[in-house]
Chain A
Amino acid sequence: MFSRRRPSFMKRSIAARAAMIPVCFSLWMTAQAAQPVVKGPESVADWDRAGQGFIESAKRLSPHNARAKNVILFVGDGMGISTVTAARILEGQLAGRPGEENRLSFENMPYAALSKTYSWDQQTADSAPTMTAMATGHKAREGMLSVDHLTPRGECSASVNRDHALKTILEYAAESGKSTGIVTTARLTHATPAALYAHIAFRDWEADSNLPELSNGEPCRGAEGSVKDIARQLIEVSPAVRRSLKVALGGGRMNFMPASRDGVDGVDDEYPKGKGRRADGRDLIAEWLTTRGAGAAYVWNRQQFDALDTQSTTHLLGLFEPSHMQYEADRAKDGAGEPSLSEMTAKSLQLLQKDRKGYFLHVEGGRIDHAHHAGNAKRALIEAIEFARAVRYAMDHTDPKDTLIIVTADHSHTFTIAGYPSRGNDILGLVREVPATDGAPLAPSKDANGLPFTTLGYANGPGHRGGAGRPDLTRVDTTGLDFLQEAAVPLGSETHGGEDVAIYARGPRAHLVHGSMEQNWIFHVMRDAFGF
């Protein structure tokens, strides 16, 4: 436990140690006068006080066994534990504090557990089977959405997909008469949100144009009896889900728009050179409006979103970008303007809380994952902070007596926090250790070749600097928004990580979230809380 630093001291000869005695005495004298350069804000008594407070709070905990009227499932896509830690520190540092002592909103929830994210056929999984596990209670196959693990890969038959379909927590809630909602910063047809309403053997079949002409040797795209694409499944859901799904907010507009209709290109409102992706010529946005009643509304920009009357609106579809929504860090630059994840969460709750029978809401921070894939830690952490802000809104505007909130991730990334940075060291900066002598200035730690390095990094990805070895980051602003952290293995895109992710919970039956859990058990907690 004490072996981490300066092992060379342990190897010095007795003679060398003897020679150092006067030097050490001198340093000791200096230490009496000098103050630590790095100081936390805590007093000695603070540690005891905080620890006792935690114990008293824990003693007051008791299982809340009532049924949940409402369940909210927050999923930070790719928000592994290292991402939570780094986002916590960054949020604290942005508020002018050292950062380490900060807590993201959901870290104040009383119950937590670890989630094992492997899928039926993957050690390190993608978002499709991981969200399927949480949505249906079943671990599934790579790339498949809410169909069981016996489903053949590339299965295009609608009837086969239907035979293997797994009912989702959203569908259970809809059938029980509750309202439901889906909010994401990714495309609404992307794997995580889609697992709640779509049943399909391949996550990439988001629009009909994505289906192959042939799959497993059989006609697929446009063929009679072929599975409906994901966008179409969102519009043509069961009657219960059609009544129930009151809110669907996110990106992915192009998957709902025709490439052309009656010989006219399906031109995007925000980007005139953008076109729809539907080869079948259907305008699914118009179909959604006509099939959801007079109180249905569709919005695609900030102004429309802000102007929406939640009292008169019964069903809301919001599609704010042709593909994924903007990164939170870039959102202010969007021409048409778009809401943040926390603003979408707020609007959704305002709509869903009108239902006295209760609701199920899923909120995904979808772009943490994308920024990590790009090897861009700052964008990923800003996404995670905004995700925590959305959770805070939900915590502040729901009653823990009747609303179960679960916060988790679908999988992790290869993101690391390393070195021995001192307390309060810029989480995006170069590692600077606590000086060996009090009063000595902080200086960047050096690698074996004398070069400084950052606290944050990736095991693989686009941040790899090949060729002549590591770069000299001495004069590089590693805190810049576009800086790519170094990666050990060169890959065009950084990959997911296979270690466990965290689950946090508050509200009825939240105590069922405990210990080491299989990811699919999250579904069982939600179903038990609802009493289905």
Chain B
Amino acid sequence: MRSASERLRRAIAAVAFAFAWGGALAQAPVGVTEAGAGTDAPLAAKYRVTVIAGSDASGSVVRQQEWVFWRQADTVAINKGSTEEIWQRDAHGRISLQRVLRAQRTVVDYSAGELAALGIEVNWSELYRFGSAAGTAGVEWDDSLNLPARFTQLINERALVRFDLLESRAGAPADWDLPGHRSAGYAQLDAADFGDMAYDPAVKVAESLDVRAGWRQAAHRH
């Protein structure tokens, strides 16, 4: 059995992955977190993401970005600048993902079946709240929003990254760069086709993001 501290460590790592490395709260099961004191109302939130030390995927030493988290009843989306993740839950509870690659002008669809085939389990509760408040040391939790307000995490033992909640608004602010709003004309790929499309630059990028999130290498399962 995995120890409680190990489960907690993995939960925190999952949050950090979601922000900094293109993954999402889709790792090995870490337990469903109880809601905080606030509500789970639809909202949009801006975070400042700062690489304090080490290097991120693009090799920079220090980098700061603003990312947008946006949740609705059946959708959780994250705009990370060059990439976006749009998670959707259907009426039957099946969760799918669209990964938006802006530089490649491509949207990659991961159906619920494909996520399962890759061994990826999605914790909707933590995804929806962008993490867990349950006794997480070093995380400042905003109970009114049910979102983390601030935390710092070492990612992949390479980069120390800090996340600061800057602003939140109810609904979908029209003047924010919300995820999914710029990809209407993008090409679309099915992640199930990656095995036959190793030549495609978008596939290379998407697979690279998958691996950084702990997918496609199975290690997260054990």
Binding site for B on A (CB under 8 A): 126-127, 191, 203-204, 209-210, 254, 259, 271, 273, 277, 323-324, 326-327, 330, 333, 335, 367, 369-376, 379, 462-467, 471-473, 476, 481-484, 486, 490, 492-496
Interface residue B50 (Cβ < 8 Å from any Cβ of A) = no
Q: List 28 A-B contacts (CB under 8 A).
A: A126-B196, A203-B196, A209-B188, A273-B88, A323-B190, A326-B113, A330-B116, A333-B112, A335-B91, A367-B192, A371-B117, A373-B196, A375-B118, A379-B117, A462-B118, A462-B218, A463-B218, A464-B218, A465-B219, A467-B219, A482-B121, A483-B221, A484-B221, A486-B218, A492-B208, A492-B210, A493-B207, A496-B195
B192-A466 in contact (CB<8A): no
Q: Which residues of B contact A326 (CB under 8 A)?
A: 111, 113
B92-A335 in contact (CB<8A): yes
The residue of chain A having its C-beta at the shortest distance from the C-beta of B195 within the complex is A373
The smallest beta-carbon distance between A148 and chain B, in angstroms, is 21
Known: A126-B196, A259-B184, A375-B118. 19 other contacts (CB 8 A): A204-B200, A210-B187, A324-B111, A324-B192, A326-B111, A333-B92, A335-B92, A370-B114, A370-B117, A370-B195, A374-B195, A462-B217, A462-B218, A473-B222, A484-B221, A492-B194, A493-B198, A494-B195, A495-B198
The residue of chain A having its C-beta at the shortest distance from the C-beta of B211 within the complex is A492
The smallest beta-carbon distance between B64 and chain A, in angstroms, is 29
Interface 0/1 of B97-139, CB less than 8 Å to A: 0000000000001011110111101000000000000000000
Rounded to whole angstroms, the CA-CA distance of A369 and B187 in the bound complex is 23
Q: Which residues of B contact A374 (CB under 8 A)?
A: 114, 117-118, 192, 195
Rounded to whole angstroms, the CA-CA distance of A490 and B221 in the bound complex is 16
Rounded to whole angstroms, the CA-CA distance of A376 and B216 in the bound complex is 11
Across the interface, A335 reaches (CB within 8 A) one of B94, B117, B217, namely B94
The smallest beta-carbon distance between B139 and chain A, in angstroms, is 27
Rounded to whole angstroms, the CA-CA distance of A496 and B114 in the bound complex is 18
Given the known interface contacts A323-B109, A462-B218, A476-B222, the answer about A376 and B192 at a Cβ–Cβ threshold of 8 Å is no
The residue of chain A having its C-beta at the shortest distance from the C-beta of B186 within the complex is A209
Interface residue B90 (Cβ < 8 Å from any Cβ of A) = yes
Interface residue B62 (Cβ < 8 Å from any Cβ of A) = no
Where chain A touches its partner, the secondary structure class is loop
Across the interface, A482 reaches (CB within 8 A) one of B119, B196, B216, namely B119
Rounded to whole angstroms, the CA-CA distance of A411 and B161 in the bound complex is 45
Across the interface, B196 reaches (CB within 8 A) one of A191, A323, A462, namely A191
Across the A-B interface, the 10 shortest Cβ-Cβ residue pairs? A373-B195, A492-B207, A462-B216, A493-B195, A374-B117, A471-B222, A330-B113, A323-B190, A484-B218, A370-B192
Q: Which residues of B contact A335 (CB under 8 A)?
A: 90-92, 94
Rounded to whole angstroms, the CA-CA distance of A484 and B115 in the bound complex is 12
The residue of chain A having its C-beta at the shortest distance from the C-beta of B92 within the complex is A335
A323-B219 in contact (CB<8A): no
Rounded to whole angstroms, the CA-CA distance of A481 and B115 in the bound complex is 12
The smallest beta-carbon distance between B191 and chain A, in angstroms, is 9
Q: Which residues of B contact A473 (CB under 8 A)?
A: 222
Rounded to whole angstroms, the CA-CA distance of A406 and B210 in the bound complex is 39
> Which parts of B174-222 form the interface with A (CB within 8 Å)?
184-185, 187-188, 190, 192-198, 200, 207-208, 210-211, 215-219, 221-222
Across the interface, A323 reaches (CB within 8 A) one of B111, B112, B195, namely B111
Given the known interface contacts A370-B117, A462-B218, the answer about A271 and B197 at a Cβ–Cβ threshold of 8 Å is no
Rounded to whole angstroms, the CA-CA distance of A388 and B195 in the bound complex is 24
The smallest beta-carbon distance between A281 and chain B, in angstroms, is 13
Rounded to whole angstroms, the CA-CA distance of A466 and B44 in the bound complex is 38
> Which parts of B52-101 form the interface with A (CB within 8 Å)?
88, 90-92, 94
Rounded to whole angstroms, the CA-CA distance of A191 and B197 in the bound complex is 12
Rounded to whole angstroms, the CA-CA distance of A375 and B114 in the bound complex is 11
The smallest beta-carbon distance between A459 and chain B, in angstroms, is 14
Across the interface, A271 reaches (CB within 8 A) one of B90, B193, B195, B210, namely B90
Q: Which residues of A contact B187 (CB under 8 A)?
A: 209-210
B222-A493 in contact (CB<8A): no
Q: Which residues of A contact B88 (CB under 8 A)?
A: 273
Rounded to whole angstroms, the CA-CA distance of A332 and B45 in the bound complex is 37
